[in-house]
Structure formats: C-alpha cells, structure tokens
C-alpha cells in the first residue's frame, strides 16, 4: 500500500508516495526550498507544490519541526512564530482540497520509521533518535513505544540551546572541521546520555549519509551510536506511516 508523506524542514520541504510494506519511497522524492519567512501560508504553498507534483489526491502525513498535539503546532523554533497554536492539520487539509492530513513532530516521524524499518528495528530498552540539520530533533522510544515531542535540541548546553551549538547548520555556518563538530556532538550526546541512559543513539538527518566522517571521532559515550538506515527519507516514511495508522 502506498501512502503520501511530506517532511517539512528548516531548509527544505520534501515528499513522496511511500510503500509501507517495504518502508521505502515508492517514487523519487520531490523537494522545494522552505520559504523565508516560513509562515503557515507560505509553507502550505510548498506542501501543496510537493503533493501536486505527484497528482496525489488521498490522505497525507506531514511532519513539522516543533511540538505537535492533536494537529496543532505548539512551538516554532526554526520556522515563523506564526505557527504557534495554529490548527496546522486543518490548514494543510483545506489547502490540499479537503484531504485528511495527519501531522506529527519531524523527529518523531523519523524515529517511528527507524524503529519499524531501520536501525532501531527489534531493539528493546531506551532508544534515542537524534536528527541533525537546521536544528536538532529528538525521538525517544521505550521498548519501541514513542514518547512524543521531546524536542531535546533545546536542552541547555554551556549556557546555550544545544542546537545553537551542535546542529549541522552551526557546523556549516562556523565552517567547523569534522573533528571540531564531532567534539561538540560528543558533549551533547554525553548530556543526553546522563539524562536518559539510552542503549542506542540513532543519528539521523542529512548528515547521516556522512556518518563515517564523524561518528568514529565520538568518544566516551556508553551507548551504541549508529547512523539512520533510512537516512534523510526517514521523516517522509514516518509521516506516511502516521497517516496510514489513522
């Protein structure tokens, strides 16, 4: 069965039909740049463009980079503040012609995909997926069950939000070497490990494609550290899974 998933990120909006039997994209994904400012209406335009690229007319699962409860977006760290307390599922459903839209946190979506089809499959205990991109997203699982909306990129680290210190955007903006950035990620992982004692860290986001450049440089972490197997498609797959579960 194919279901459509859209992943809204701080830099791009991407989506595709997803084959839920394989846990993979059924067609090559389509991506548009996230507008700036990333207001609800402007982002909705991008979502519509992605979905219509495939002539899709059925239900759609959509991720959002912030806290989502019952289809309402509650925070907006890396998009326009106009998203706060918006019925985003209703807005996007209306803009897509009245189709059903299921909305969830972006890292939660990626995590659900990874524990079902990827690096976290079959793993018991505490598993943490962290997505490194414009910010840092998190998804916490206990024996495969999601604890939603953890948003651990906003933990304080050295007097600053962690994502302002160790995101991929910071690496690019400050032109950090892999060694220097890995050291920052290591400090962040140590802080998260102190709080939650996970048995497995799954590293997601676009940088997961280059895990060999930084994961071996991370030291002193007890938990196993592995890259996301679905890499940057995990959010799309997880969004489609959420839509199909409704």
Q: Report all structural domains of the chain as residue ranges with CATH numbers, in order of start.
A: 2-107+234-244 (3.30.420.40), 123-228 (3.30.420.40)
Residues 57-75 pLDDT 10s:
999 999 999 999 999 999 9
* pLDDT tens per residue, range 21-44: 999 999 999 999 999 999 999 999
Sign of CA dihedral 16, 18, 22, 26: negative
Q: For residue 178, which phi and psi values (nearest 5 degrees)?
A: -60, -40
Backbone angles phi, psi at 96, to 5 degrees: -90, 15
Q: Residue 83 pLDDT > 90, yes or no?
A: yes
What is the pTM (predicted TM-score) of this model? 0.96
Chain-centroid distance of CA 99 in Å reads 23
Phi, psi of 157, rounded to the nearest 5 degrees: -140, 115
Which residue in 108, 166, 111 sits closest to 133, CA to CA?
A: 166
- Residue 158 has a pLDDT of 86
Query: What average pLDDT does this structure show over 139-152?
Result: 97
What's 73's DSSP letter? E
Distance CA 98, CA 94 (A): 5
Give kind and range of the element (H or E) at residue 158: none
Which tokens in the block code for residue 86? 């918006």
């Amino acid at each position: 069965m194919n279901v459509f998933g859209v992943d809204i990120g701080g830099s791009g909006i991407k989506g595709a039909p997803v084959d839920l039997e394989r846990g993979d994209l059924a067609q090559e994904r389509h991506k548009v740049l996230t507008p700036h400012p990333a207001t609800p209406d402007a982002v909705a335009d991008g979502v519509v463009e992605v979905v219509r690229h495939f002539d899709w007319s059925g239900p759609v699962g959509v991720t959002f980079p912030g806290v989502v409860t019952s289809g309402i977006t509650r925070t907006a760290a890396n998009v326009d503040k106009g998203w706060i307390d918006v019925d985003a599922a209703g807005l996007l459903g209306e803009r897509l012609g009245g189709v059903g839209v299921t909305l969830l946190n972006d890292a939660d979506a990626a995590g659900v995909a990874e524990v079902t089809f990827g690096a976290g499959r079959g793993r018991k205990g505490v598993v943490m997926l962290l997505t490194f991109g414009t910010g840092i997203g998190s998804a916490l699982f206990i024996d495969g069950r999601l604890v939603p909306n953890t948003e651990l990129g906003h933990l304080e680290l050295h007097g600053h939000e962690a994502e302002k210190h160790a995101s991929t955007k910071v690496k690019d903006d400050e032109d950090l070497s892999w060694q220097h950035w890995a050291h920052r990620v290591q400090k962040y992982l140590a802080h998260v490990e102190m709080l939650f004692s996970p048995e497995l860290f799954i590293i997601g986001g676009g940088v997961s494609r280059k895990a060999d450049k930084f994961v071996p440089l991370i030291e002193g972490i007890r938990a196993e550290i592995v890259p996301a197997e679905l890499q940057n498609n995990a959010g799309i797959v997880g969004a489609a899974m959420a839509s199909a579960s409704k």
